[in-house]
Structure 1
Amino acid sequence: MSRKVIRKAVRAPEGAFDYQRKVPPLPRIGPFQERLNTLLEENELRGRRERLRMTRIHDLLVREGFEGSYDAVRRYAARWKLERRKDAGEGVTAFMPLMCRPGEAYQFDWTHEDVEIAGAPMRVKVAHMRLCASRAVYVRAYPRESQEMLFDEHARGFAFFGGVPGRGI
């Protein structure tokens, strides 16, 4: 809001001032709004690597006579993208929780960790096994990353959990 509007609101008796802008003015973009919409739509259809940056879109509009700022184009593009997401997302659930029955699935992964063993620095491979339903964890460190590590972790993990889940992730 402008200072003028705020001054009116401060000076008005309590509850007497009501200001709501119906449509935000686009004094510079107005005449180029259709062209900008076209450029943004074409840009959305391009592959990720071929997409134009907003600075390039602004340059194209300037060549066609646009006198507005880059920030005006950037703000308009952000609102345009937000509106398209709202339109596309109606009736779509954004979150679907992962729910597994006990014994249905487990997750397996491994990482590299730097540790000190007997005063000497060493990099070990740490295997992680987690049940999806209960989130129970079994972790074991190995000196090397090998097939034996994979087989041993699975055998010991299944023994630790007391059975073999239906599928691995």
Structure 2
Amino acid sequence: MALRGIIRRWYIRDHISIREIARRLDISRNTVRRYIRSDAIEPAYPARHSPSTLKQMFLDLQELGYKGSYDRVAAFGRRWKVGQMERVKSASKSTDASWLTP
């Protein structure tokens, strides 16, 4: 509703052209016209549902015969992530950039 309200306010009250509204909002002029002419509300999109990486990993492991719980997979994921972060930090600390300075 907010975008429709902005478009209608700019067009009706502030007398801003359709082209200028489209440019400011980075949308097409046809969309601006449609919002001005109609009393329809803004489109509502369905909520996107995508399982987390660890949940998907757990489901994949179950298909392969894994009998453990999700908690174990999540604990592994947390430990793995910490290990990756430590590797990145240690790699950046060990980088010798002394050859860059004259």
TM-score (normalised: structure 1): 0.23
Q: Normalized per residue, which structure has more strand?
A: 1
TM-score (ref. length: structure 2):
0.38
Considering Cα pairs closer than 8 Å and 6+ residues apart, tell me whether 1 or 2 has the greater RCO: 2
Say which structure is richer in helix: 2
